Amino acid sequence: MRVLFESSGDPRSSIYISYCVARLERHYAQAVQETIRSTETSIDFGVFSKSAVRFMATSHMTRRGPFQGVRLVRGKIHDPEGILNRIWDAIGKPILKLKRLLLNAGGLDRTRMLIEMPEPAIDRIVEDLRRMFKRLLPLCRGVKTPGLSAASKILFSVFPEIALPVEKACWKDLFHAVDYVDIIRLMRTEISAWESRSRKRLNDCDPQGSITLPVFYNAVVVRVIREESNIGL
């Protein structure tokens, strides 16, 4: 475990984690908040497409590759190659199915759903994510990129309570994995371990209490990678 724990094995301080969250770029943080808000109670193609465009643009994924040129213009989506329609055709039905499962999760706190969901339900959820991820890869693949990061960010734009937007530098260098589900399970395990060791809730590192556990985790991932490489992601 390398994200929420120091190299010594000690859990990172809540002050450090709060700092990581506060250091997220303003436009990125705003896109995350809007993603969480817009996908809270329902999902359809309109919600999906606007959330995906907003988050992909803020993550600099629309400058080249399959999402090049995709943007919001006066509240309307400009999608010259129809990539969002093709993605919805590929995973729209699984998105709706998984969204119903999450909405019917027995009143669980959405921001903590990743670790408070019972294990059998998590098993089903991650398998649904695995299938969607595999369907996304051919659509998200670019000339020079395998599409892993883009696919993970599409899933986060729909399921910010359980999905992690994984930066290109993190797959092999940090997580040593290419299986998206392995990363989701590692995140869940590490968050649970951090809360047990620190005797705190990860959510308490955000005074507003409005962001999901994957957002906290990703904020620390970004900071750890930057500190180790001395470059921006």
Give the DSSP per-residue string, 183-226.
Answer: HHHHHHHHHHHHHHHHTS-GGGGSTT--S-HHHHHHHHHHHHHH
Q: Domain residues for 143?
A: 14-24+93-227
Q: Does residue 205 carry a pLDDT above 90?
A: no
Q: Does residue 231 carry a pLDDT above 60?
A: no
In a domain, residue 58? The reply is: no
In a domain, residue 216? The reply is: yes
In a domain, residue 79? The reply is: no
Q: If pLDDT is split at 50, 70 and 90, which confidence band does 220 have?
A: very high
Q: Find where tokens 């969250």 sit.
A: 21
Q: Give the pLDDT of residue 59.
A: 87
In a domain, residue 110? The reply is: yes
Q: Give the pLDDT of residue 208.
A: 66
- Average pLDDT on 110-127 reads 93
Task: Enter the pTM of the model.
Answer: 0.92
Q: If pLDDT is split at 50, 70 and 90, which confidence band does 44 have?
A: very high
- Average pLDDT on 177-205 reads 93
Q: Does residue 11 carry a pLDDT above 90?
A: yes
In a domain, residue 30? The reply is: no
What is the tally of structural domains in the chain? Answer: 1
Which ranges constitute the DSSP H helices of the chain? Answer: 14-22, 26-38, 45-58, 83-103, 113-116, 119-140, 148-158, 180-198, 213-229
In a domain, residue 178? The reply is: yes
In a domain, residue 191? The reply is: yes
Q: Find where tokens 């990172």 sit.
A: 12
Q: Does residue 232 carry a pLDDT above 50?
A: no
| Cβ neighbour number for residue 112 with a 10 Å cutoff | 17
In a domain, residue 220? The reply is: yes
- Average pLDDT on 177-183 reads 89
Q: If pLDDT is split at 50, 70 and 90, which confidence band does 104 have?
A: confident
Residues comprising the chain, all counted = 233
